[in-house]
Structure 1
Amino acid sequence: MTIEERLQRLEDVVAITQLVASYGPLVDAGEAERVAELWTEDGIYDVDEYYMGSRAEVDAMVRSDAHQGLIGQGCSHFLGPAHVTVDGDRAVAVCESVLLVRHGDRVFPARIGANHFELARTTTGWQTTRRTTRGLDGGTDARDLLSRTGRI
């Protein structure tokens, strides 16, 4: 691998790491348009109980009364460090996450999850084509997502 190829790979990993790390702050700030821009137009966000099949549906989720209620009482969507694997114009990032929610003067974990991002290099940079999130509830679905670490 040439030095230029190595540099490109490092730049790709940093860009994808930044994309994953930006989700929590943006969704907690209620930045619906900016959150949605993390996905391609037909990008999918598949959470256990909620399936979004487009960028517009991701935008609508952030604007929804349910999400606005969460951020109105205080919450934190925290995604841990992502393991990123790049193969040309495709990539995968795997990480764990926790959703913390404030109730009065106390903060409680509301959800812990496994996250598998599929990404593509687009004309505007890296974007998510599919994000799958499953609750870490002891079942195999979340463990299966985590086992994909390092694989495209």
Structure 2
Amino acid sequence: MSEDRMAALEARVARLEDERDIAGVMASYGPLVDGGDADGVAALWAPDGVYDIDELFLAGREQVRGMVRSAAHQGWIRQGCAHVVGPPHITVEGDEAVAVCHSLMVVHEAGRYVVRRATANHWRLRRAASGWQVVTRTNRVLDGRPESPALLAGGVRGV
């Protein structure tokens, strides 16, 4: 195999590994947050990372950790809930990445499961020494407002 072909193959494998690792970070959110692992959830974010949700704005790991430990979130866990992150579309550019996906928050109410939220998710991630970390995650409810589908479409374009 020529050096050029080998270099191209190595680049393809590296990109696939990055995409896999990023998808793993994203897929970790649901099990960690539903398991009440505040430190594990916070560790997904960069130290100065932001989690921008319709209902709240969290700046830094400490605020992300606090959200998981909050009485409201602990109540969701006790009631029964599942944060389900759909398959992501990931664009990697060097040590930066953009990913988009849908997510559902399913809650247990009156003996049945109900979708509480269907959300557009836009993630910006950065490679750190410890692996990929969330720099910004923006969630907007898919309730007809134009900004929600715009987050998804922009992310597919790598924006």
TM-score calculated relative to the size of structure 2: 0.93
1:73-127 CA distances to partner (integer Å, 9 max, x unpaired)?
1000001000111000000110001100111311111000000000000010000
1:84, 1:150 within 8 Å by CA — same for their partners in 2? no
Residues of 2 paired with 1:63 and 1:44: CA distance?
A: 17
From 21, 24, 27, the equivalent of 1:21 is: 27
Task: Tell me the residue number matched to 2:158.
Answer: 151
Residue 100 of structure 2 is aligned to residue 94 of structure 1: yes
Q: RMSD over aligned Cα, in angstroms?
A: 0.9
Residues of 2 paired with 1:125 and 1:35: CA distance?
A: 14
Residue 122 of structure 2 is aligned to residue 122 of structure 1: no
Residue 55 of structure 2 is aligned to residue 31 of structure 1: no
1:43, 1:129 within 8 Å by CA — same for their partners in 2? yes
2:120, 2:139 within 8 Å by CA — same for their partners in 1? yes
Residues of 2 paired with 1:141 and 1:28: CA distance?
A: 27
Question: Across the two proteins, how many residue pairs are aligned to each other?
Answer: 152
Residues of 2 paired with 1:126 and 1:36: CA distance?
A: 13
Amino acid aligned to 1:57:
Q
Q: Percent identity?
A: 49
From 98, 110, 113, the equivalent of 2:116 is: 110
From 34, 41, 46, the equivalent of 1:40 is: 46
From 11, 23, 33, the equivalent of 2:17 is: 11
Within a 5 Å distance, the mapping from 1:123-138 to structure 2 comes to 123-138=129-144
* Unpaired runs of at least 5, structure 1: none
Residues of 1 paired with 2:140 and 2:75: CA distance?
A: 22
Structure number with higher helix proportion: 2
1:27-50 CA distances to partner (integer Å, 9 max, x unpaired)?
000000000000000000000110
